[in-house]
A and B are shown apart, each in its own frame.
Chain A
Amino acid sequence: MIGVGKMKQYTNVLDKPLSKGKQEVSLSAFAFLFSELVQYNQTQVDNIAELERRLEDAGYAVGARVLELLCHRDKGNRRETRLLGILSFVHSTVWKVLFGKVADSLEKGTEHEDEYMISEKELLVNRFISVPKDMGTFNCGAFVAGIVRGVLDSAGFPAVVTAHFVPMEGQQRPRTTILIKFAEEVLRREARLG
């Protein structure tokens, strides 16, 4: 019949076969959507910290679902239980699926045992964003920080995750570093596991 879409109807979303995750949309479509997300949240807050928190919350919702999706689809319902395992899962697997590439670097903080950093020269969400001077250190990467926190937290690695611009020598644009500070209990557990 003319005018009937090719999509099949399912009574329950869980009956629907899981897509392989190869579908794509244009980067512009995502950039437009993300811009609306940021602009909307700007109307709901009166300071930068609050705005970052709200973007982080939105990201968290994405991260929690990404963990579930990827563990189910790619890892046969298993997930990482060790600190380095989950970090490399975020740095490689999650990044690759969401942003099409592994993150530029994953480093351990030099000053604190509980800190790790994932850095990206040009974070996807910051591609088309320039932060006005009066908004100080605001970084839309808060959304990605939220995704990382969502993945870690849901996998049993609670952490505080923040996004920062780090100026790079010889580069016009700063890179974005996602700073992960794990909760005490995570490190204690890790030490016990040896």
Chain B
Amino acid sequence: MAPLAPRSGDAIFANVERVNAELFTLTYGAMVRQLLTDLEEVEEVNKQLDQMGYNIGIRLIDEFLAKSNVSRCVDFKESADVIAKVGFKMFLGITATVTNWDADGTSCSLVLEDNPLVDFVELPDTCQGLYYCNVLSGVIRGALEMVSMKTEVTWVRDMLRGDDAYELRVKLLKQVPEEYPYKDDE
């Protein structure tokens, strides 16, 4: 029998090497400011952050699978749970709550219980359209794509924009059947 997937990432997080969250927060902030200076348009910065997140996601999934002992999730619901409880914990030391499922189980919300990206952050008037944490949505999209799930990830609530929580909407667009990249007889 396959080993039982962990329901929490606490043990994994306790065992991986860690760094001060403030270094992480301030480095992320420095990066966002660089993007704002370079790209000028807030919309472009949102796109770039999402792209960076995607780049991270497609690499991060390998480490996640290697260290988490999570085996194949039976459905999207389980995947969402694993991201919220194990994934977020393992990398950022936080957890999320999965909620607001739609009727056919293809889209849900992840509500973050803490957010190490936003310490010390306040959006000035010129950046009101900025999705400051857009890197996170990119990471989730990239990581899920590597395990055959095409998704769309968007921010529903963002405390930097005056909402009462950080809420990501994850929508499963398509489950791509797994295929070998080559034929047997080649």
Contacts and interface: CB of A to CB of B under 8 A. Distances in A.
Interface of A: 2-7, 9, 12-13, 19, 21, 23-30, 32-37, 39-41, 44, 54, 57-59, 61-62, 65-66, 69, 97-100, 124
Interface of B: 13, 16-24, 26-31, 33-35, 38, 48, 52, 55-56, 59-60, 63, 90-93, 97, 99-100, 109, 111-116, 119-122, 135, 159, 164-167
A6 B52 CA distance: 28
B27 A5 contact: no
18 contacts: A2-B97, A3-B99, A3-B167, A5-B97, A5-B165, A7-B165, A19-B22, A25-B24, A27-B17, A30-B27, A32-B56, A33-B135, A35-B56, A36-B55, A40-B52, A65-B26, A98-B23, A124-B19
B27 A33 contact: yes
A32 B55 CA distance: 9
Give the most central of B20, B99, B116, B159: most A CB within 10 Å. Answer: B20
A59 B114 CA distance: 25
A71 to B, nearest CB: 14
Contact of B28 (A21, A33, A98, A99): A33
B97 to A, nearest CB: 6
Give the most central of B17, B48, B111, B114: most A CB within 10 Å. Answer: B17
Nearest to B67: A28
Given A4-B111, A25-B92, A28-B17, 8 more contacts: A5-B97, A6-B113, A19-B119, A24-B18, A30-B24, A30-B27, A61-B26, A100-B20
Contacts of A32: 56, 59-60
B111 A27 contact: no
Give the most central of A19, A36, A37, A124: most B CB within 10 Å. Answer: A36
B24 A29 contact: yes
Given A27-B16, A33-B24, A13 B91 contact: no
Contacts of A3: 97, 99-100, 109, 111, 165, 167
Contacts of B13: 26
